[in-house]
Structure formats: structure tokens, C-alpha cells
Amino acid sequence: MMQGIFLLLGGNIGDRLAYLKKATELIEQEVGNILQFSSLYETAPWGISNQAHFLNQAIEIQTDLDAERLLEKLLAIELALGRERHHKWYARTIDIDILLFGNEVISTSNLQIPHPQMQFRRFALIPLQEIASQIVHPLHRKTISQLLAECEDSLEVRKWGTSHFGYGSLYDNT
């Protein structure tokens, strides 16, 4: 079982919390164990600003799947939850990105690991830093905390609440 696999989940259509919860349930059923959950973060949209804010969460998983098979499973989960791919950065029910897959560096036509844009996006780095601050990015050779400190992205990322869906407790954003 490989660990050190970090995913970023997010969405901005419909009941964002329900989609995140269902995505984590499907990940546990189809992919492997969830080892850690970050808090939930409400984030300004990236790329196309005239859309609803996203709800994002980073998780660490443990799986026997290789990276290509993991991607296939995650894309199937997105599809099952109503994800439609019309335009880059467009609104979506759920988006599941592979940020890190251990120390692996993968560059194929359909998969880039580490995620090639994560170091530029606070909405990815802030939740990831919460659960993996000392993990070293395999290409940049810097910790997640260092990458966050150097990130020039100024889009709003606000803690929304804490959620550990798989462990029976859910705290809202009150």
C-alpha cells in the first residue's frame, strides 16, 4: 500500500459539501483508505472569476493503484458525481486532482505528477500544508510550507470548517 499520495478535491456547483462528502466516500470504496483530511476552505475561483466560490479540501490516501489507474478511478468518480468538462477552469460539481504521488515524477500525455500548477495556487497549497507541511516537492526540492511562503497567488482562501467525513464527525462553518 503506497502512502504519501495527496489529492485536492473541490467544487462550486450545487451542494458543495455534499459533493465533497460523496467524493470521499467513493474514494474510500474505489481507491483506498483516506489517512488524513484537511479542513475545508472556501476559495475564490481561479482563471474565470465570474463564478461561485469553490469549497476545497486536501486528503492523503493509501492505495495499491499505480498513478495511471488512480487517475482513471478519480475521473470515473468525477463523472459519477456529474462533472462535465466544457471549458478549462469552468464551474464544476467536483474536481479531484492528484497533487503528489509519493516522490514520483510522472509526465505523460494525460498525467502530470506532481501537479504542475500546485506551487502557484494557494487554494491547493493551504489545505495541503495543513496535512503535509514538511513533505518535499520532488521537483522543486522545497517543503509545502516553503512553497506556500513563496507563492505569489493573492486569491482569497478562507477556512470554512473542519470535516472528517470518514470518521463520523462533521463540523459546519458556523
Residue 106 located in a structural domain: yes
Residue 18 has pLDDT above 60, yes or no: yes
Catalytic residue, chosen from 16, 97, 121, 122, is 97
Catalytic residue, chosen from 15, 66, 83, 121, is 83
User: Which pLDDT score, from 0 to 100, does residue 89 have?
Assistant: 59
Residue 86 located in a structural domain: yes
Write down the residue that cell numbers 459546519 correspond to: 172
| Structure confidence by residue, pLDDT tens digits, 72-108 | 999 999 999 987 766 665 778 899 999 999 999 999 9
CATH code for the domain in which residue 114 is found? 3.30.70.560
| Structure confidence by residue, pLDDT tens digits, 26-75 | 999 999 999 999 999 999 887 777 788 999 999 999 999 999 999 999 99
Residue 25 has pLDDT above 50, yes or no: yes
Residue 172 located in a structural domain: no
Residue 69 located in a structural domain: yes
Residues across the chain: 174
User: Which pLDDT score, from 0 to 100, does residue 163 have?
Assistant: 56
Residue 173 located in a structural domain: no
**Residue 92 falls in the annotated catalytic set:** yes
Residue 157 has pLDDT above 50, yes or no: yes
**Residue 170 CA: distances (Å) to CA of 39, 159, 163:** 11, 14, 5
How many angstroms separate the CA atoms of 128 and 22, rounded?
20
Residue 136 located in a structural domain: yes
Catalytic residue, chosen from 16, 95, 121, 122, is 95
How many angstroms separate the CA atoms of 81 and 9, rounded?
12
User: Which pLDDT score, from 0 to 100, does residue 86 have?
Assistant: 63
Q: Which three cell numbers stand for residue 158?
A: 478562507
> Please, which residues have CB within 8 angstroms of residue 1's CB and are 6 or more apart in sequence?
32, 33, 62, 63, 64
Total tally of structural domains belonging to the chain: 1
Domain with 138 in it: 2-165
Give the phi and the psi of residue 106 in degrees, each rounded to 5: -130, 130
Residue 22 has pLDDT above 50, yes or no: yes
- pTM confidence score: 0.89
**Residue 83 falls in the annotated catalytic set:** yes
Residue 119 located in a structural domain: yes
Residue 170 located in a structural domain: no
Residue 21 has pLDDT above 50, yes or no: yes
**Residue 122 falls in the annotated catalytic set:** no
**Residue 95 falls in the annotated catalytic set:** yes
Question: Angle at the Cα of 2 (from 60 to 164), degrees rounded to 5?
Answer: 25
